[in-house]
Amino acid sequence: MNKSLVRRAAGRIRGFFAQIRTVLFLSYFVIILLCITIVGAVSFFISYRSMSERVESAGSQIVQQIQNNMDNDFHSKRNMLLAPYYEAEYTDGISAYPEMTDQQKFLFRQKLVNLFLKSFNITPIQDFIRFQIYFSDGSMLGASDDYKPWSASQVRSADWYLRTVAKDGIVLFSGPNDGDGHTDTKDTAYSSSMLIRMFASPERFIVVRVEYGDDLFRDIGKKDNLSANSRIVILDDRNKLVYASGDREAYSANADMLARLGGDSGKFWFRSGGDDELVSYVRSSYSGWKTVLIMPRSDIFGPLNRIKTTVVWTALIVFIVTFLISVLFGRSITRPILNLYKTVNRVKRGDFSERVEVTRNDEIGRIAMNFNAMQDELQTLIETKYVNQIKLQEVELAMLYSQINPHFLYNTLDSIRAMADYYRVSDIGDMAQALADMFRYNTRNKDEVVTLQEEAVQIDAYMKIQGIRFEDKIAYELDIEEELYNFPVLKMTLQPLVENAVFHGIERKRGKGTIRIVARRVPDGRVELAVEDDGVGLSERRLEEVRAKLRAPLLQESFPSDVSEGGIGFRNVYARYAIRYGDRMEMSIDSRKGFGTRASLLLPDERALPDGGKNLLHSGSGS
């Protein structure tokens, strides 16, 4: 018994895994899991590489941007030192200063100080501290404040002074002054100095020295959105520390890092304090200073830990969502297949009216549409080959019954009897001859297809009888194109239409009426047969009822099989042609109350066929 249970369980498992839904679900599950794993690993690796490259590139761009901003600022500050060159009296005064009187020297010094004060006031600089003006012998000509730290001999021996004179008119930017026993103010971060002279007397010149704070460096660092632990270091042209955003002493003592800052630009990884740091630097071609950006690895790749966590949680959420989507998607695929399978089973049992509901526009939807189209064709084939054959036989039987219309025959015989009572011998002969011609046409002509001329002869006999009956109340006209007299039509095509015109149009009209038969070719190549009368016409409601009967499917109608049900009329004529021609023929009826009625047939002209169209007409009644 245990083996039987195992076999049943194994069979259920095999059946479960054999289902399309299960196969699709497992396929999606494996593919999604594999894709998520690969995408997660590749994304993390690419993120790591991309972030490393972007940070290194960004570091170089940041230090370059900082250096460009500093150069722009330094260039503006250098231009302020050129103020004496804009007016000759200052350069002339510098050359003639030793020969001036004390009063002239005082006035010249005052003008010189006012000139630079005006320059620095017109263009305010937030980190400006003071400026000092020295003559070539080291004596101070003036200053923006009263601070006078050096004597003339100390100035001449100061490093910044000697370097400024050596540059011979090129601006010198240097860090805080040290090494000569004197210092700048405690707030001085760097200074700029420049030699100004007339080339006619090169031994007589002035040196202007301006001291600045570190606002420039602090502002530059804030504007570049650096991480919390990133630092900026500014070195002068001798690799001496000018500014550091962190511990100045730590950078001053870190000789190994400073030794690697060679060349005009570069970047390298440096280990300091137990953590690797990315060092990016660039040297200014204008001032010779170096801007160094130091970013710890933990700041650079710290976000990767958050990315890793985010990727894991995202992968988990995506997996759950895709799992649910896979289930729904699998069902959306298998459900229409299952519906198609059930429909095929119902069709297999003989229900040919069953159709698949098409709700998709993909391959499955197209299969369902093709299946429905196949069912439509199959049902149409059945109706065409079997049902329509039955209906055709009913129509033909009804036509045979109508060939000897009792009502018409009784009326004709009554008229003959009445005329015999009055001895109207000529009318009796004409009516009898016409009646004989009609019976002869119906009984001797066994062909179902006749020519339009033969139909016209039949109508002539019919209208002759009606003319005698109604005492010339009805006028009759033929308007047939000459080439259409041999046009093939079904026997008894025109008489039902003319009969309707007589009894429902002219007979009820007061006074005389006219019936007109038209046969002409229309622009699309078809032939129009029309019967027109100027009788009482039809009301709109009655006209719509007649048109509705013409539009109704043939399968819904039972044709008369007994003379008591009346003649074949419009509907029977339409049915006989519709069964044979289908959509290639049209029948219409137009009427207006009090103005008459027009019934028309549009038929294809198939006389160019070898059989003149007869075989095609007979094909509907074959098999």
Q: Are 214 and 131 found together in one domain?
A: yes
Read off the pLDDT of each residue in 553-568 and give the average, rounded to a whole number: 46
Quick check: 206 pLDDT over 70?
A: yes
Total-model pTM: 0.46
CB 570 within 8 A of CB 505: no
Binning pLDDT at 50, 70 and 90, where does residue 618 land? very low
Last residue of a domain, one of 260, 276, 300: 300
- Domain boundaries, position 105: 55-300
Whether 259 maps to a domain, the answer reads yes
Return the SS3 of 550: helix
Whether 590 maps to a domain, the answer reads yes
Quick check: 616 pLDDT over 50?
A: no
| Window from 19-23, 39-43, 406-410 with minimum mean pLDDT | 406-410
Quick check: 553 pLDDT over 60?
A: yes
CATH of the domain at 487: 3.30.565.10
Last residue of a domain, one of 280, 300, 320: 300
CATH of the domain at 199: 3.30.450.20
Return the SS3 of 5: helix
Q: Are 449 and 583 found together in one domain?
A: yes
Whether 82 maps to a domain, the answer reads yes
| Window from 95-109, 171-185, 371-385, 606-620 with minimum mean pLDDT | 606-620
SS3 content of the chain, % helix, strand, coil (to 5): 55, 15, 25
Whether 314 maps to a domain, the answer reads no
Whether 476 maps to a domain, the answer reads yes
Read off the pLDDT of each residue in 548-555 and give the average, rounded to a whole number: 71
Quick check: 14 pLDDT over 60?
A: yes
Of all residues in the chain, the percent with pLDDT exceeding 90 is 8
Select, from the ranges 145-159, 166-180, 237-251, 487-501, the one with the highest average predicted confidence (pLDDT).
487-501
| Window from 117-126, 201-210, 238-247, 439-448 with minimum mean pLDDT | 439-448
Read off the pLDDT of each residue in 414-434 and give the average, rounded to a whole number: 64
Domain count, the chain: 3
Quick check: 302 pLDDT over 70?
A: no
Q: Look at 14 and 471; give whichever has higher pLDDT.
A: 471
Whether 60 maps to a domain, the answer reads yes
- For position 620, what pLDDT does the model report? 42
Q: Are 129 and 207 found together in one domain?
A: yes
pLDDT digits (tens, 9 = 90+) for 510-520: 888 899 999 99
450 strand-pairing partners = 489
Beta strand spans in 52-189 (E): 128-135, 140-143, 172-174
Closest of 157, 84, 69 to residue 118, by C-alpha: 84
Continuous segment of H or E residues that includes residue 593: none
Whether 241 maps to a domain, the answer reads yes
- For position 413, what pLDDT does the model report? 57
- For position 563, what pLDDT does the model report? 34
Closest of 75, 70, 59 to residue 217, by C-alpha: 70
- For position 600, what pLDDT does the model report? 93
Return the SS3 of 532: strand
| Window from 36-50, 534-548, 597-611 with minimum mean pLDDT | 36-50
